[in-house]
Structure 1
Amino acid sequence: MENEVQRTASVGVGPRLADRITALWDLLTGRPVSLYAASVLRIGCGLLYLVFLLREFPHRDEIWGPGSPWTPALADQLFEQTGWFSVLALSDSRACFELCYGLALLTSALFVLGWRTRVLSLLFAVVVTSFHGRAIFMTDGGDNLILLMSIYLVLTACGRRWSLDARRNALKAIRAVDAPERQRSPFTRQVRDARTTLTTTVHNCGMLVIAAQVCVLYGSAGLYKVQGPSWGGGTALHYVLNLELFQPWPAVSHFVDEHTLVVAIAGYMTVLLQVAFPFVLFGPLKYPVLGMLLGMHIGIAVLMGLPLFSGAMIVADAVFLPDRFYTFLPHLCRRAVRRTDSSRSAPGPAPGAGAVPVQGGARGSKRRVVLPAGRKDTMPAPEPTSPRIPPKRG
């Protein structure tokens, strides 16, 4: 009897395991997931790095150029130990550096627009890697996450939505409807199907790696904070707000620091959100947690003066929003614009429109009749007539 039960259980486990493997395979190869999230990540990372390069344009020579305290010779010594690589360290020429800087600005701008994204994603990764490696000790840490995301974006189809590539493909599809369909050989169709499957699989794996990277980042940061006595005692943010290095607006920092209870609660909530983040991604608590993380990163950008780091984290958090959220945003914006336009163009009472009182009531009352615009004349009501009383006979 016991052998029969084990045999039945083993027979039941086999099909269930096969069904799960099939479902996982279909998820990886069936269709590309989170295309809008990948596009948001492309636009966000490219725009942040473009703004970063433009902001540091006056100081480019001191940070990455030949006049940097971290000389190319020192960078080469570090590269020998770490195996890193930077295009900026290939030459000490000022003209070569200026050319590389201009190409970096152009690459970031085209990457944001989504022009030839397959090639531009690789070039953008080379740009971020080169600039990060050239001045690895002179940045604020926000470009670390952009560096990782730029490498992961090479694997994704981040130009399928909200890009010039998507617009060009849509126009090609419209032309293909009118054009006669060409007969393809079976070998050509198989190669095209294999290419589509491979692209879909690599994209889905890339998005999975991006999500895992963000989860590891939050989880490790939260667990690291738990080990320290300052975060456990609720005083960590107090010390941060009093650091001169992280006080872009000292008056605001001192004002926030005066509310000790709020600062302590914010510190505990920061640790709780970071530790709980990987565990709430597949439940209804994901959206409130993402909203609170958005507020936390905005606070870091304002109070600590780390806009690049906060922006990179906000963009990374946007990966966890489903595509239906991004497809609903344009409809919501159009609806809001439509309501605004309708409220502005709502017709009021016509200027100069005349009206006369309504007939009926006391003697001499006037009937109100709406007249065309520009007429203000009134129409008097007719005099009421008394009933005729027949004379008496006799």
Structure 2
Amino acid sequence: MLQRVFDRIHALLVLLTEQPVSLYAAAVLRIGYGSLYLAFLLREFPHREEMWGPGSPWTPELARLMYDQSGWASVLLLSDSRAYFEVCYAVALVTCALFALGWRTRAVSVLFAVVVVSFHARAIYMADGGDNLMVLMAVYLAFTACGRRWSLDARRTRLKADESRGEGLRTQLGEARSLLTTVLHNCGMFVIAAQVCFLYGCAGLYKVQGQKWADGTALHYVLNLDLFRPWPELSQVVDDHHVLLTAIGYVTVLAQVAFPFALFSRLKYPVLILLLGMHVNIAVLMGLPLFSGAMIVADAVFLPDRFYRAAGRLWRRTVRRTGVTAAEACPRTVSAAVPPQPGPAGDASAVR
């Protein structure tokens, strides 16, 4: 019995220290959250002053009072200057873009976490709830090696490796640094997965305790909240299907409660599909795109790397076939548009 415990501890240590896990999933999280927050800042660009600027109804003084109670902090309040705020906003946009592209990811990931935390802390009550998850994921991703796949860093590393092979030189990281990077990355990915499991599990258990979810009428009331009805006509059409709404409500609760347990079997794939449909409906029917996008990206952590490698190969084959088709079509187009040219003899007779 004791030997079995030691074997499991050894296997866990090997898993944490041997090699980084889910590198492609980490890359998807980086691309997803970087792009999502960039789109969020661009969407709110016309309203940036009202949400986060010095002239916001949630004044810097009120924000500082809350910081004293909550412990939050924001670089946006280092100065009340309008010019300083505009510079911070521009830096935030550039940081999100660079993070999504994976340029100098180790440093930019820390800057991205500072950006997300600062904007969230400056106006806690202004977003739709998805920023709460964004804050957690931005902090977790700063500890992961999320720039090793599908990034500018990965491309640069690959080019350097090709050059070093040509020169007969090889560059290696120190063992201590490699071990530390691997452990931090693996722990970060496990924490991200655990965070999503806790989120779904708690959401499902809270719904189980609610009377409206128990009798199947919860979604009816959700679809009739004026604050969350961007498309009233569409909400009304969906609300007319009472039996379907009741079934969807029960399936939603079941999927959320079962999610942490389904991860250890193949049931996780249909559950993930159900949750994807749920988040798409939340984004469309309730007008919460940031929240839904943050959850959809978070779910990507549970897909194995072989899935992303297969998706990458499929994408490359599609691009290659498209390029070959275009290349084959181009000569025919050119030959049809350009008349035949005279050969060398024709050129000589023309000169004469």
Task: Normalising by structure 2, report the TM-score.
Answer: 0.90
Q: Which residue of 123, 132, 149 maps to 1:135?
A: 123
Q: How many residues align?
A: 329
- Aligned CA-pair RMSD: 2.0
Tell me: CA distance 1:178–1:78, structure 2 relative to 1, closer, same or farther (3 Å). Answer: same
Percentage of matched positions with identical amino acids:
67
The equivalent residue for 2:178 is 196
The equivalent residue for 1:23 is 11
C-alpha offsets along residues 282-337 of structure 1, whole Å, 9 cap, x if unaligned?
Answer: 10101111111111111111111111111100000000000000000022234456
* Cα shift at 1:181: 3.5
The equivalent residue for 2:341 is none
1:309 aligns to 2:291 (yes or no): yes
Matches within 5 A, 1:317-356: 317-336=299-318
* Cα shift at 1:179: 2.1
Distance 1:138 1:91 in 2: 21
1:286 aligns to 2:275 (yes or no): no
* Cα shift at 1:16: 1.9
C-alpha offsets along residues 149-188 of structure 1, whole Å, 9 cap, x if unaligned?
Answer: 0000011000000000000100111111122447x9xxxx
The equivalent residue for 1:110 is 98
Q: Which residue of 240, 245, 248 maps to 1:263?
A: 245
1:274 aligns to 2:262 (yes or no): no
Larger mean CA deviation between 50-59 and 84-93 belongs to 84-93
The equivalent residue for 1:120 is 108
The equivalent residue for 1:234 is 216
Distance 1:107 1:341 in 2: 32
Tell me: CA distance 1:338–1:92, structure 2 relative to 1, closer, same or farther (3 Å). Answer: closer
The equivalent residue for 1:164 is 152
Q: Which residue of 40, 61, 80 maps to 1:52?
A: 40
The equivalent residue for 1:6 is none
The equivalent residue for 1:353 is none
Distance 1:339 1:126 in 2: 42
* Cα shift at 1:230: 0.5
Task: Normalising by structure 1, report the TM-score.
Answer: 0.80
Tell me: CA distance 1:265–1:339, structure 2 relative to 1, closer, same or farther (3 Å). Answer: farther
Q: Which has the higher contact order (CA 8 A, sep 6+)?
A: 2
Larger mean CA deviation between 331-340 and 198-207 belongs to 331-340
Q: Which runs of 5+ in 2 are unaligned?
A: 330-352
C-alpha offsets along residues 84-127 of structure 1, whole Å, 9 cap, x if unaligned?
Answer: 10011121110010010000001001001100001000000000
Distance 2:88 2:313 in 1: 41
C-alpha offsets along residues 36-79 of structure 1, whole Å, 9 cap, x if unaligned?
Answer: 00010000001000000000000000000011110000000000
The equivalent residue for 1:362 is none
Q: Which residue of 140, 146, 151 maps to 2:139?
A: 151
More helix by share: 2
Matches within 5 A, 1:375-390: none
For residue 25 of structure 1, what is the amino acid of its counterpart? L
1:248 aligns to 2:230 (yes or no): yes
Q: Secondary structure at the match of 2:272?
A: helix
* Cα shift at 1:139: 1.1
